Structure 1
Amino acid sequence: MTYQVRLLPADVTFTATEHESVLQAALNAGIAFPNRCQVGACAMCMCRKLSGEISYQLEPMLTEKEQAQGWMFTCQATAKSDLVLSMD
């Protein structure tokens, strides 16, 4: 399955499959997405999910409050629906 991912505020859109991380999909699309470790330790790829569904193979090191606010690690998350993400 392929999903549309929209990045705000730049309003850039790319596609992601359910078999790749959101970060990897962005990098594959040629989008300069902040990242360093790609394992969820550095938090450089962290952004806020405004809408859509994601899943993690391993639970991220985020508090329940951070997750409730929409924060996510794109290096660890896979899309399960179309997504709208904020880089602010």
Structure 2
Amino acid sequence: MNDQPEVSGAVRILPADVRLTVRNGETIVDAVRRAGYRTRYCCRRGGCRACKADLVEGQVRYPVPIAESVLSAEERAAGKCLPCRAQPAGEVVIRLSEKDTLTRVFGTFRPAS
């Protein structure tokens, strides 16, 4: 039996150029936190828009629909995403907003064996 979580994709975060794997059912922000980094976010439900980033490459899905007032069709068409709710569909590249930075706050989390 394989105890390793199934990987659903990966995210490369610009401008830091950090690449992280994303597990099934995990959002981009969840993967960032699991790896010991932080980015700008507040509510983790998509309502505050603090984490809004550019989706440079790839596609994301939102298992729970995002309100048009939070992320409009025009913003999606322009390549905006909400990493706190977005799950990558394969490999994606996002660019953090100018107000945001990727900060390493902990060593990489490794579950006890």
Q: Normalising by the residue count of structure 1, what TM-score does the alignment of the two structures yield?
A: 0.91
Structure 1 runs not aligned, ≥5 long: none
CA RMSD of aligned residues (A): 1.2
1:31 maps to: 37
The one-letter amino acid paired with 1:73 is L
Number of aligned positions between the proteins: 88
1:49-60 equivalent positions in 2, closer than 5 A: 49-60=55-66
- Higher strand fraction: Structure 1 or Structure 2? 1
2:94 maps to: 85
1:1-88 equivalent positions in 2, closer than 5 A: 1-2=6-7, 3-60=9-66, 61-88=70-97
Matched-pair contact (CA < 8 Å) for 1:50–1:83:
yes
Deviation at 1:18, TM superposition (A): 3.0
The one-letter amino acid paired with 1:7 is I
Matched-pair contact (CA < 8 Å) for 1:17–1:79:
no
Q: Distance in 1 between matches of 2:41 and 2:73?
A: 23
Moved over 3 A (4+): none
Structure 2 runs not aligned, ≥5 long: 1-5, 98-113
CA shift digits 1:30-82 (9 cap, x unpaired):
11111110011111111010111111022223111100011111111111110
